[in-house]
Amino acid sequence: MSDETTNAKTKYDGVAKTLHWIVALLMIVMLTAGWTLGDLPLDEKVQTLVIHSSLGLSVFILIFIRLYWRRKNPPPALPEHMPAWKITASKFSHHALYFFVVLQTLLGLGQSMYADFDVRPFGAFSVNMGANESLHSVFHELHEINAMLLIALILLHLGAALNHHFVQKDTVLKRMLPYGKA
């Protein structure tokens, strides 16, 4: 794709939008469900963790597909009225979201690898390498801390999108909405 075509692009294509909203929905479900896991009895916890880890693996795969698609199909340019510091902040926050989503799945995998119960994503394969309470605890804490960082980044992302729509009154949000006319 040439620079001229990229600069003329005004909205995201259907693949980018679909990947964005599927990952967003899965992340909301997983972050919400993740907070309730500690209160469940062990048998329900393991069943929920199978679903949670299956969704986590799905997010992991979808994020890499999304990054590949984004590389081959660059997003539309940010509005010309945006100051350089906001453009830098936007790029940094998007990179941070990708990084911390990938990290979250890896930390969840580490947690599952050393749990004293077997979590099988999609019920298909075991990731357990044998119970190790110390390693499980470290991965668990890091998974929780990273979840809080992700929530903060998601809220920042959502706040920025709403600011563009309601305060800046530009098309940044509309061009990512499933039926948005940018």
Which pLDDT tens digit goes with each residue over 130-157?
999 999 999 999 999 999 999 999 999 9
Domain extent at residue 154: 3-168
Name residue, tokens 């967003």: 24
pLDDT tens, 34-44? 888 888 998 89
Residue 114, pLDDT above cutoff 70: yes
In a domain, 177, yes or no: no
| Spatial separation of the C-alpha atoms in residues 142 and 63, rounded to whole Å | 20
pLDDT at 25: 97
Residue 2, pLDDT above cutoff 50: no
CATH number at residue 23: 1.20.950.20
Considering Cα of 109, then 114, then 117, then 120, what sign does the dihedral take? positive
In a domain, 180, yes or no: no
Whether the CB-CB separation of 12 and 76 falls below 8 Å is answered with: yes
Q: 16-35 burial string, b = 16+ CB within 10 Å, else e?
A: bbebbeebeebbeebeeebe
In a domain, 63, yes or no: yes
The structure's pTM equals: 0.90
Our count of domains for the chain comes to 1
| Spatial separation of the C-alpha atoms in residues 40 and 158, rounded to whole Å | 30
In a domain, 174, yes or no: no
Residue 3, pLDDT above cutoff 90: no
In a domain, 141, yes or no: yes
